[in-house]
Homo-oligomer: A and B are copies of this chain.
Amino acid sequence: MGAHDLDASTDAGTGGRVASDHPGVIDLFAVLAYGEISAFYRLAEDAQMAPDLRGKVAFASMAAAEMDHFETLETALTERGHEIFAVMDPFVRALDNYHASTTPSTWLESLVKAYVGDGIAADFYREIGHSLPADVAEIVEDVLSQTGHSEFVVLEVKAAVEASTRAKDRLMLWGRRLLGEAITQAQFVLAQREDLTDLVISASGDLNGVVALFDGMQAKHAERMAVLGLV
């Protein structure tokens, strides 16, 4: 990217200001929308590993919340004159790759992925959202809202890692892998989508802001792992 020498008169890290009609907004809504669909089907598939009906219901509820968010984004895109299937298309590969490279092999890995993976994505989008015009920021915040089922995940994972050091060690590595794969795919998307990259840079203030954004994501990931007892 080699643009560190750009004038950074805005306060890097607290973010810049982005016009409402920035073309990257459509990309942002589109990647969020496909993210909801792919998360829906990942949760539905991972729920097959649930040891009981309670786990299946918790995952089904989380998956259903993804579809509420999808509908919000569909409305937002339609209002802006875009067809959701057309604009989602460029993001299918990266998100499918993320899920394919982080397919859980146990129920505990599924739980950690549902909590930590969603959190990583939410941090990224939320940081960008802060700098967007109010109407856009509101939509982003709305679709990132928690579903209230994360408490279930926290209790299950904490109990498991307290009971077994081996489980804890495995899940610590798993969490690290989730973050790594998420960043890899985010970079892949940004390298391909100029409008979105420009939006992220504008929202972050400048390239230093983008670096700060990724650093902030790492810090928040560590906090989230700690909540699960993974420290």
Complex-state Cα separation, A66 to B57, whole angstroms: 11
Q: Does A137 contact B (CB under 8 A)?
A: no
Complex-state Cα separation, A88 to B54, whole angstroms: 11
Cβ contact within 8 Å between B41 and A57: no
CB-defined contacts of A186 to chain B, threshold 8 Å: none
CB-defined contacts of A85 to chain B, threshold 8 Å: 53-54, 57
Cβ contact within 8 Å between B53 and A88: yes
Cβ contact within 8 Å between B63 and A44: yes
Q: Does A64 contact B (CB under 8 A)?
A: yes
Q: Does A37 contact B (CB under 8 A)?
A: yes
Chain A window 48-71, contacts with chain B (Cβ cutoff 8 Å), 1 for yes, 0 for no? 000001101100110110111011
Main SS at interface, chain A: helix
CB-defined contacts of A47 to chain B, threshold 8 Å: 41
Q: Does A40 contact B (CB under 8 A)?
A: yes
CB-defined contacts of A134 to chain B, threshold 8 Å: none
| Least distance between A88 CB and chain B CB atoms (Å) | 7
Complex-state Cα separation, A81 to B54, whole angstroms: 18
CB-defined contacts of A61 to chain B, threshold 8 Å: 67, 70-71
Complex-state Cα separation, A92 to B68, whole angstroms: 27
Which residue of the partner chain, among B53, B54, B56, B63, contacts A64 with CB atoms under 8 Å? B63
Cβ contact within 8 Å between B44 and A57: no
Q: Given that A64-B63, A68-B64 are contacting pairs, would A56 and B41 also be in contact in the complex, using a CB cutoff of 8 Å?
A: yes
Which residue of the partner chain, among B53, B66, B71, B92, contacts A53 with CB atoms under 8 Å? B92
Cβ contact within 8 Å between A37 and B60: yes
Complex-state Cα separation, A47 to B44, whole angstroms: 11
Cβ contact within 8 Å between B64 and A67: yes
CB-defined contacts of A67 to chain B, threshold 8 Å: 60-61, 63-64
CB-defined contacts of A70 to chain B, threshold 8 Å: 57, 60-61
Not counting A53-B85, A60-B67, a sample of 9 additional A-B residue pairs whose C-beta atoms are within 8 angstroms of each other reads: A37-B56, A40-B60, A40-B63, A41-B56, A44-B44, A57-B70, A60-B63, A61-B71, A63-B63
Give me the 9 closest cross-chain CB pairs, A-B, nearest first.
A44-B44, A64-B67, A64-B64, A40-B60, A60-B67, A61-B67, A53-B85, A54-B85, A37-B57
